Amino acid sequence: MYLYGAGGHAKVIIDVLDSENVKVLGLFEDMGTKTSYQGIPVHPGIQTKDQSFSLLDAPLIICIGDNTARAGLSILLDARFGIAIARSATVSASATIGEGTVILQGAIVQADSIIGRHVIVNTDASIDHENIIGDFVHISPKATLCGKVQVGEGTHIGAGAVVIPEIKIGKWCVIGAGAVVIRDIPDFTKAVGNPARFLPIKEEQADYYP
């Protein structure tokens, strides 16, 4: 496996892959000066025009926590993407996991949930039955999504947030840490507090849209 990014999120994914005896063959980094990390070579990223990620001899995972950056890189890299699931995670056999997605230590994904591409299901996050999680979403540590929740593309669910059953959260939303979401949330909305109150995000201010 190759990893794109050489920061803290990459360190966690290296641990996940080590737990599954998957060797990390190399890291790619855009702006850093590292040449190696834990004995793994670090190579320049996409600013090197002669680098062809489609020719890598193993899958790649984008190890960048920012949803916008991860979405843009997934298009630019034109790579074959892998999946990383921690040994301590619990993932139902009936769940569907998209390419580029990582499910970290202690996370739970229950029956018939659908997890999109390049999603981060972070430490101890809980996704209950029949959730639908869009591409480029980040479910932060200890967030809890009850049954039949839908989360749109690019949304960030903050640490410790709780979403009650059958709620629909739009695309490119931000759910604050510890928020309790008890009603549907439209696209491009921030939601904070208990119960969560809405703060609209101006669409033209967002960095990435499909």
pLDDT > 70? residue 57: yes
Mean pLDDT of 69-77: 90
Q: Which of 26-35, 55-64, 200-209 has the highest mean pLDDT?
A: 55-64
Going by CATH, does the domain composed of 84-193 fall within 3.30.420.40?
no
**Which of 42-56, 78-92, 156-170 is predicted with the least confidence, judged by mean pLDDT?**
42-56
pTM of the model: 0.89
Share of the chain above pLDDT 70, in %: 91
129 catalytically annotated = yes
Q: How confident is the model at residue 201 (pLDDT cuts 50, 70, 90)?
A: low
Chain segment 119-133, per-residue pLDDT in tens = 999 999 999 999 999
Asked which of 36-40, 165-169, 182-186 is least confident by mean pLDDT, the reply is 36-40
Please, what is the average pLDDT of the chain? 89
Architecture per CATH, domain 2-77, reads as: 3-Layer(aba) Sandwich (3.40)
Query: What residue spans define the domains of the chain?
Result: 2-77, 84-193
- The catalytic position among 9, 118, 129, 156 is 129
Q: In the prediction, which pLDDT does 30 show? A: 79
Under 8 Å between Cβ of 196 and 180 = yes
